[in-house]
């Protein structure tokens, strides 16, 4: 059965690969980007099933317009993929209020406002599937990625809340947790205006690893992400969380194990209560 999609962040990387795959499958897609000219070739190759829209998720009017386009072109939306995001580098002390606010405006507030704009459609049709592209950084703290980590933790919290609030309305929620992928994430990583030398021993190696990430011959391809999302969309009961890419699994398993161990230690020590 053909489904109707709204996908953000489609000019390159994961979003672009996903729209390419969906279009090849004959799905109806509104592909969005801050620079819609990057999507012209997709529309030209699939004029009956792909529409392009300018969308900066920080702009409420553009969010509403993208939803209205999907309704006008295809009669509604079945799946929303909140993919648009970027990475802000820097430790807690280095990242300014403005840099932190900008990170959250794109990575958290944008998906929130767009999902809020789609939910009335899903309440009316009693169905819908919201996909939130998080990261292993939504569960694993990386030194030097404090703002990005915080935004992905927050995104996952919002997605989990939505899952609890809207399941009775037929709304499904999936949090995607990709590992490293061959995208422009590392090249577009924003550095903080203020750098503090004292943090270089813990954050310097992380910055170098991120900058060199795409040179890894085993890095995941965006086409893998597209394949995983396509298969996910065909499931009757999709999972709430889904690791994407083989490298994501060891990071997430270690995070789960560490939290369980820490919790057990605290409980055994009795620090959680007063005798």
Q: Which of 11, 135, 148, 151 is catalytic?
A: 148
3-state SS assignment for residue 107: helix
What would the DSSP string read from start to end of 35-69? SGGGGHHHHHH-TTTEEEEE--TT-HHHHHHHHHH
Q: Which of 134, 135, 151, 203 is catalytic?
A: 134
**According to the 3-state scheme, what is the secondary structure of 154-184?**
HHHHHHHHHHHHHHHHCEEEEEEEECCECCC
Q: Which of 11, 135, 151, 152 is catalytic?
A: 152
> Rounded to an integer, what distance in angstroms lies between the CA atom of residue 197 and that of residue 124?
54
> Rounded to an integer, what distance in angstroms lies between the CA atom of residue 14 and that of residue 19?
9
Q: Is 188 a catalytic residue?
A: no
Contact 133, 14 (CB under 8 A): yes
For 84-178, where are the alpha helices, taking DSSP H only? Answer: 97-104, 110-125, 146-166
Residue written as token pair 């560490």: 258
> Rounded to an integer, what distance in angstroms lies between the CA atom of residue 91 and that of residue 13?
26
Q: Is 134 a catalytic residue?
A: yes
Contact 77, 173 (CB under 8 A): no
Residue written as token pair 């704009």: 117
Q: Is 148 a catalytic residue?
A: yes
Mind telling me the catalytic residues? 134, 148, 152
């Amino acid at each position: 059965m053909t489904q109707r999609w709204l996908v953000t962040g489609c000019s390159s990387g994961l979003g672009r690969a996903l729209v390419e795959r969906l279009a090849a499958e004959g799905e109806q897609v509104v592909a969005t980007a801050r620079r819609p000219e990057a999507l012209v070739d997709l529309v030209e190759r699939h004029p009956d099933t792909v529409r392009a829209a300018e969308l900066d998720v920080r702009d409420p009017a553009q969010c509403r317009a993208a939803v209205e386009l999907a309704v006008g072109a295809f009669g509604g939306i079945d799946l929303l993929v909140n993919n648009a995001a970027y990475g802000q580098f820097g430790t807690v002390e280095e990242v300014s209020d403005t840099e932190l606010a900008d990170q959250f405006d794109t990575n958290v507030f944008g998906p929130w406002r767009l999902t809020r704009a789609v939910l009335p459609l899903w309440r009316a049709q009693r169905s819908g599937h919201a996909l939130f592209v998080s990261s292993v950084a939504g569960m694993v703290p990386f030194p030097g990625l404090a703002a990005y980590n915080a935004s992905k933790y927050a995104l996952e919290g919002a997605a989990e809340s939505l899952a609890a609030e809207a399941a009775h309305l037929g709304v499904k929620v999936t949090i995607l947790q990709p590992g490293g992928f061959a995208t422009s994430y590392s090249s577009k990583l924003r550095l903080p205006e203020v750098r503090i030398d004292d943090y270089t021993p813990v954050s310097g190696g992380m910055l170098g690893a991120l900058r060199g990430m795409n040179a890894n011959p085993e890095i995941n391809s965006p086409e893998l992400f597209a394949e995983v999302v396509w298969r996910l969309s065909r499931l009757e009961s999709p999972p709430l969380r889904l690791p994407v890419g083989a490298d994501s699994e060891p990071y997430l398993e270690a995070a789960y194990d560490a939290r369980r161990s820490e919790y057990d230690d605290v409980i055994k020590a009795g620090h959680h209560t007063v005798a």
